[in-house]
């Protein structure tokens, strides 16, 4: 992937309302982002696609939505208060701070200084206080991973469902990390959403399930159109594995700056359940055990970014030059756009408007775009740039035979379709 795709996609995201710097009005806040009208649709579509395959599409996984702030004992027991740290170094000349492993050449990116302090471990958890007094008793943390919410609800879920090993508990929610170095747009931020599955299994079966979830997760990216050649596995070296993991692989994506972590898959062994003193009772075997946990975990914003980069194309020459986001229709913020052929013929505008309203009422299609500005070619290109897979145009023939043209984003081919068949056609294409 050429490095300039990074600039092009980030500029497109800002220009078209996918992503804005958070608090931009006040100069922004490093590591925080707001997701505009298109960004929120993309993120919601991504979350629905993850939840669909990981939870709804199977009988052995249930969902959870836990609080963000837990009793701080959770983080003590889980080892995060002690171990969830990165090595911080400081430039001796200008005092800029860096995560040690992000400085490749050991040269300060602010002042080119080459002398740094010894690395100090810096805990990444954001602190806050619960209650009206800022005292040690009220100290709490914004969760740096959603997984602990699942572990502390393990018994609740086992007791209120009929799940038997192996089974999974899934959660999508906010996570916060006071990252020393943020950057690469939304790749590494301080507030983000994680989609995490904790898969509980017999200890002796953990390796088998680890391989299963590696395969399953890569298939999910493929199902949503991500190019195979842009994905690969990388096993963590001993020193980089998180404190809870016995085995860890990243699914890496070929970002414009090189291969980088897209999703982590870890064998967390019985570390967390043991830490919280939790067990599972196998009624049939009449024994108690502490299951092992296999965990695929992905950041929604990070994967949204990878899908955007992967879908970015520039095609054609001269007047026919277009930018097109070939997002999978399930991910595209708008599935359908509706236009009157020209904006100054009320009979065409009224007819197009009625079709727009009809499609808009079909919530399964998500939001429908409307555009009557400029010429039709410009409108197509404008939708191509945000990834809308189908454009419906109402022309003079529509008034005679109740058909419209449906233009396909990727082929730019147009077919005539009966107005009455539009909703079912799009739903069928999406299914």
Footprint on this chain of ligand GAP (rule: CB under 6 A): 145, 147, 177, 179, 188-189, 192, 194, 196, 261-264, 295, 297-299, 301-302
Q: Which is nearer to ligand GAP, 174 or 378 (CB)?
A: 174
User: For residue 61, what are its two tokens?
Assistant: 């996984």
CB of 32 to ligand GAP, least distance (A): 11
CB of 425 to ligand GAP, least distance (A): 35
SS3 333: coil
Q: Which is nearer to ligand GAP, 264 or 329 (CB)?
A: 264
Other beta carbons less than 10 A from residue 286's beta carbon: 7
- In terms of DSSP H, where are the helices of 108-187? 147-152, 154-160
Pairwise CA distance, residues 12 & 381, whole Å: 13
Q: What is the largest CA-CA distance in the chain?
A: 78
Q: Which is nearer to ligand GAP, 147 or 365 (CB)?
A: 147
CB 128 within 8 Å of CB 109: no
Q: Which is nearer to ligand GAP, 241 or 322 (CB)?
A: 241
CB of 196 to ligand GAP, least distance (A): 5
CA 331 to chain centre: 11
CB of 110 to ligand GAP, least distance (A): 21
Q: Which is nearer to ligand GAP, 298 or 341 (CB)?
A: 298
CB of 229 to ligand GAP, least distance (A): 20
* Bond preceding residue 326 cis, omega within 30 of 0: no
CB of 395 to ligand GAP, least distance (A): 45
Pairwise CA distance, residues 174 & 371, whole Å: 34
CB of 180 to ligand GAP, least distance (A): 10
Q: How many residues does the chain have?
A: 431
Q: Which is nearer to ligand GAP, 63 or 113 (CB)?
A: 63
Task: Say how many CA atoms lie within 13 Å of 254 toward its Cβ.
Answer: 13
DSSP 343-363: TT-HHHHHHHHHHHHHHHT-G
Q: Which is nearer to ligand GAP, 145 or 384 (CB)?
A: 145
CB of 312 to ligand GAP, least distance (A): 20
Q: CB nearest ligand GAP: which residue?
A: 299
Phi, psi of 19, deg, nearest 5: -140, 135
CB of 301 to ligand GAP, least distance (A): 6
SS3 398: helix
CB of 262 to ligand GAP, least distance (A): 6
Please name every residue paired with 277 in a beta bridge, in sequence order, or none if there are none. none
Q: Which is nearer to ligand GAP, 55 or 422 (CB)?
A: 55
Pairwise CA distance, residues 415 & 406, whole Å: 5
Q: Please, which contacts does 376-382 make with residues 24 or more away whose CB atoms are closer than 8 Å? A: 376/339, 376/341, 379/337, 379/339, 380/407, 380/412, 381/322, 381/323
CB neighbour list of residue 247: distance below 8 Å, 6 or more residues apart: 210, 235, 241, 266, 267
User: For residue 230, what are its two tokens?
Assistant: 């842009």
Q: Which is nearer to ligand GAP, 153 or 414 (CB)?
A: 153
- In terms of DSSP H, where are the helices of 361-395? 376-386
Q: Which is nearer to ligand GAP, 45 or 148 (CB)?
A: 148
């Amino acid at each position: 992937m050429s490095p300039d795709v990074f600039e092009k996609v980030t500029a497109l995201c800002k220009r078209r309302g996918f992503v804005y710097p958070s608090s931009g009005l006040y100069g922004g806040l490093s590591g925080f982002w707001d997701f505009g009208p298109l960004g929120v649709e993309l993120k919601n579509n991504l979350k629905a696609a993850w939840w669909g395959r990981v939870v709804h599409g199977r009988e052995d996984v249930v969902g959870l939505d836990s609080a963000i702030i837990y009793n701080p004992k959770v983080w003590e027991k889980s080892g995060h208060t002690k171990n969830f740290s990165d090595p911080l170094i400081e430039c001796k000349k200008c005092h800029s701070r860096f995560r040690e492993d992000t400085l490749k050449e050991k040269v300060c990116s602010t002042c080119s200084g080459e002398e740094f302090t010894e690395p100090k471990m810096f805990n990444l958890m954001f602190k806050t206080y619960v209650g009206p007094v800022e005292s040690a008793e009220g100290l709490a943390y914004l969760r740096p991973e959603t997984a602990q919410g699942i572990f502390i609800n393990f018994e609740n879920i086992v007791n209120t469902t009929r799940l038997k090993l192996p089974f999974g508990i899934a959660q999508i929610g906010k996570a916060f990390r006071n990252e020393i170095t943020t950057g690469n747009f939304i790749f590494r931020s301080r507030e983000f959403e994680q989609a995490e599955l904790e898969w509980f299994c017999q200890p002796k079966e953990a390796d088998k399930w680890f391989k299963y979830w590696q395969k399953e997760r890569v298939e999910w990216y493929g199902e949503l159109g991500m190019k195979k050649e842009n994905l690969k596995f990388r096993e963590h070296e001993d020193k980089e594995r998180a404190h809870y993991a016995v085995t860890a692989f990243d699914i890496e994506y070929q970002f414009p700056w090189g291969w980088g972590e897209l999703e982590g898959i870890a064998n967390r062994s019985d570390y967390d359940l043991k830490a919280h003193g939790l067990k599972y009772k196998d009624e049939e075997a009449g024994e108690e055990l502490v299951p092992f946990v296999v965990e695929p975990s992905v950041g929604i914003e990070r994967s949204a970014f990878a899908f955007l980069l992967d879908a970015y194309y520039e095609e054609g020459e001269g007047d026919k030059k277009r930018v097109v986001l070939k997002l999978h229709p399930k991910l595209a913020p708008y599935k359908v756009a509706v236009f009157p052929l020209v904006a100054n013929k009320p009979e065409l505008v009224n007819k197009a408007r009625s079709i727009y309203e009809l499609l808009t009422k079909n919530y399964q299609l998500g939001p429908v775009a409307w555009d009557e500005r400029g010429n039709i070619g410009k409108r197509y290109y404008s939708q191509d740039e945000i990834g809308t897979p189908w454009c419906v145009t109402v022309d003079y023939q529509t008034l005679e035979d109740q058909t419209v043209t449906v233009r396909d984003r990727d082929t730019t081919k147009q077919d005539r379709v009966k107005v009455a068949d539009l909703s079912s056609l799009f739903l069928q294409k999406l299914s």
